[in-house]
Amino acid sequence: MPQQIDKNFKFFLYIFIFIFLSSINNLWWIKTKDSIFKISEIEVTGLKEELNYNIKKKLNFIFGENIFFINSHKIKKELNNINYIENYKIKKYFPSKLKINIKKTKILAQAFNNNKKYYIGSNTKKIDNLEEIDNKNYPTIFGEFSVKEFIKLRNIIYDAQFDLKNITNYYYFKSKRWDIKLKNGTLIKLPRENIHDAIVLVKNIISKNINNQKKIIDLRMEEQIIFSNG
């Protein structure tokens, strides 16, 4: 009987030691995890050095957060508010580094509001941060237009395989109709509907050098083409 008690004692002693050591290891792991896996470095790439630095400053709130439980929604919200960003990739490098690669949006055109210039990006956002824009001659949009309507028109022109670089100005009218002006000074009056077919027709007219001296090509009337000098 004493032998049985001794065996039981040893069994419970081993259990106690195991629990004790496990608790110490757990405490050590918790403390180590909290210190090692806190974000201490953020690397932003893809843009000019100054822009990368500006974005990094906007993400200062990440420092010290646990890399396993980082609030990615909050990061995405901050990045989505930067209007010159097209898209981005966020990668975790354990134990404590976050790397964000940025792709800048492509500038499609420029416009004016109260005599102040702004730009339209392929991300469908208006951009007024002039220091973030490359110094190029972008086509100008006139009229009170919506960005989505402009992007829609541009996509139609692109799908019709018309050279977008040949367009210098876009004119939007309250009747929800567009005119476009080409580098050679030709003004094309587009219809409200069937714009794709009208663009294809214009492309054929230009390629065949039809009425090259005429400066206005009016396609507003269905099944009619009107050429004039303006």
Q: pLDDT tens digits for 147-164?
A: 999 999 999 999 999 999
Residue 3 has pLDDT above 50, yes or no: no
Q: Is the link from the previous residue into 95 a cis peptide, with omega within 30 of 0?
A: yes
d(CA 198, CA 188): 10
Mean pLDDT score across all residues of the chain: 85
What is the C-alpha separation between 95 and 225, in angstroms, rounded? Answer: 67
From the list 196, 184, 114, 182, the residue with the least C-alpha distance to 152 is: 196
Pairing of strands 187-189, 177-182: antiparallel
Task: Quote the crossing angle between the two packed helices 195-207 and 147-159, to the nearest 10°.
Answer: 50
Tens digits of per-residue pLDDT, 203-220? Answer: 998 887 766 666 899 999
108 CB neighbour count, 10 Å cutoff: 20
pTM of the model: 0.78
**Helix, strand or coil, per DSSP, at residue 13:** helix
Q: In what order do the strands lie in the sheet with 226-228?
A: 126-127, 116-121, 107-113, 140-142, 167-173, 177-182, 187-189, 216-218, 226-228
pLDDT band at 58 (very low <50, low <70, confident <90, very high): very high
